[in-house]
Structure 1
Amino acid sequence: MEFIMRSSSWTPSIVPNDNVETVYLVADDLGRLGRAWREADCETADLETVLGDLLTGQYSNPIRIVAFNTAEHWAEDVSEDVARELRRRCDLQMRELPHTISDFVERHDVRDRRQLTLRLV
């Protein structure tokens, strides 16, 4: 028995049709095991859950975070925005960044964090 695959530009969706929310996926560096897009439950791939998981050390070494919305037909690397939000939350709680995300935040939070100096006349 021989199977022949038809050539097609159609690709099946991995997101349920009734899900119109934005989905967030984290690329994680797993060391010797390599890099992978971490598995995410359809119900918990929202921004708030991803932020909470990052703050509680659920990822070993996050590299990039991508958001996509199939209903609105867009995808975007949101690493910079997520890094800025992680720093903001830690600053508000007056705590250090968890070691599992400190490299990620330093790489992606590209704001100029230097203090401005005032010239005295």
Structure 2
Amino acid sequence: EAGVPSPVVPYGADRTLFVVIDRLDRATEIRVERSDLETTISDLVAGCFSDPVRVISFNTLEHWMKDISTDVAGEIRARCDIDGVTLPDYLSDFVESHS
């Protein structure tokens, strides 16, 4: 229908989405949605978040959610090790708190 916005996730769509909870300052948190895990990890490594706190995955059809912060932190650390680079400062708190 004209003038009615379409939903981001169509009704009944079987999708797993990823949400990064990012602390902008001591009082403010923002949740940023990504549609795939690789983009989520790449954006974290690229410094697209100021102070990532947690990464949550959820499935729109199966109605489950999971805190995958530990898995994501491990993947970031492994990629830095493989590439022979130091963990970026902006990710050190996130990785240390979930390792």
Shorter-chain TM band: 0.7 to 0.9
TM-score (structure 1 length as normaliser): 0.70
TM-score (structure 2 length as normaliser): 0.84
How big is the shift at 1:29?
A: 0.5
Which residue of 10, 22, 25 corresponds with 1:28? Answer: 22
Aligned equivalents of 2:29, 2:42: Cα separation in 1:
21
How big is the shift at 1:104?
A: 0.0
Which residue of 92, 101, 121 corresponds with 2:82? Answer: 92
- The answer for unaligned runs of 5 or more in structure 2 is 1-6
Secondary structure of the residue that 2:14 maps to in structure 1? coil
How big is the shift at 1:32?
A: 5.3
Aligned to 2:92: 102
Bigger radius of gyration: 1
What do residues 33-68 of structure 1 show as CA deviations (whole Å, max 9, x unaligned)? 611212x3xxx5210000000000000000011000
- The answer for unaligned runs of 5 or more in structure 1 is 1-12, 110-121
Asked whether the 8 Å contact 2:14–2:61 carries over to 1, the reply is yes
What is the percent sequence identity of the aligned residues? 44
